[in-house]
Amino acid sequence: MPLTAKQAISLGLVQGPAEVLPLSSSAHAELIPELLGWDRSGISDADRKTFQVALHAGSFVVLARAIKWPRPAAAVAMTAPAVVAGVALEDAIEQRLSGPVATAIGLIAGSLLLIAADSAAPAGERDTADLSLADAAVIGVVQAAALAPGLSRLGMATAAARLRGFSRADAALIAHSAGLPVGAGAVVLKSARAISRPPAPEMRAPLAAGAVAAAGATRLSLPLLRRTPIAGAALWRMLLAVATLHRRGFRQNGGR
């Protein structure tokens, strides 16, 4: 059956905090319907991707106004690796690393990396004014590596910034800043694809509802930007991943 407006709004409300915190909003959009047992058999893969673009677009409109964009040189250093990797590896990632199980594994791996980076961060804390091109280049490479589902681009950029000595709050701001050019490019590219392949008529209302809900939830979640609970975010990610893997195993065992 097609996605309902109520389901779309529910995912949009989750998108807000999942986009502001290093939780992987894409993983939540993929795994929550799986956990709740939603019947998505009537939704094509193209429409599912278009819906995720709508959620990201709703959040992006809010974040683009709330976050300071990086300087041009830093933007290039932080964006170019992810753009190159995305163009070169998009099809391979979707074919080999997509799906609930791969996403759950990515969530766990990303959580462990996030905790390890936070624990190993240097004692002296830097702020956003100290961001150098070397910092930007490291974050750019990490963003490219975070294309695998579940790892979370925001989470891995935050981890990289922590290892470069930035405080938790400033690491989160830098990670969001690094993601703005990437997010803008992804929304424009995928929106163009959606226009060339319009969604099914029954998906148009859910698309709009999800985007509006995501924008509203993101706006309400903005105060979390400077209070990034890394351990709490990692714990939530792992709980979501374990619940997904448990449900998949339960279903494969015939519900026993």
pLDDT tens digits, 126-179: 999 999 999 999 999 998 888 888 889 999 999 999 999 999 999 999 999 999
Point out which residues pair with 166 in neighbouring strands.
126
159: which residues sit within 8 A by CB, 6+ positions away?
113, 114, 116, 117, 118, 142
Q: Work out the pLDDT band at 206, boundaries 50, 70, 90.
A: very high
Cβ–Cβ under 8 Å, residues 225 and 17 = no
Does residue 12 register a pLDDT over 70?
yes
Does residue 38 register a pLDDT over 80?
yes
Task: Reduce the DSSP state of residue 116 to 3 states and report it.
Answer: helix
Buried b / exposed e over 166-181, threshold 16 CB at 10 Å, is: bbbebbbbbbbbbbbb
Amino acid in the structure at residue 183:
G
Q: Work out the pLDDT band at 97, boundaries 50, 70, 90.
A: low
pTM of the model: 0.88
Q: Work out the pLDDT band at 233, boundaries 50, 70, 90.
A: very high
- Please identify which residue in the block is written with the tokens 């950029």: 157
Task: Reduce the DSSP state of residue 167 to 3 states and report it.
Answer: coil
Cβ–Cβ under 8 Å, residues 148 and 97 = yes
Q: What is the structure's pLDDT at 254? A: 54
Does residue 92 register a pLDDT over 80?
no
Q: Could you give the percent of the chain with pLDDT greater than 70?
A: 94
pLDDT tens digits, 105-124: 999 999 999 999 999 999 87
**Rounded mean pLDDT of 215-222?**
97
Round the average pLDDT of the chain to a whole number and report it: 89
Residue extents of the structural domains in the chain: 5-252
> Which one, of 110, 106, 86, 103, lies nearest residue 186 by Cα?
86
Look at 54-68, 74-88, 181-195 and tell me which has the smallest mean pLDDT.
181-195
User: With left for phi above 0 and alpha for psi between -120 and 50, is residue 228 left, alpha or beta?
Assistant: beta
- pLDDT higher for 39 or 76? 76
Q: What is the structure's pLDDT at 221? A: 95
Q: Work out the pLDDT band at 193, boundaries 50, 70, 90.
A: confident
Q: What is the structure's pLDDT at 58? A: 95
**Rounded mean pLDDT of 75-101?**
79
Number of H helices, E strands in the chain: 10, 0
- Whole-angstrom CA distances from 198 to 44, 50, 61, 188 are 12, 9, 22, 15
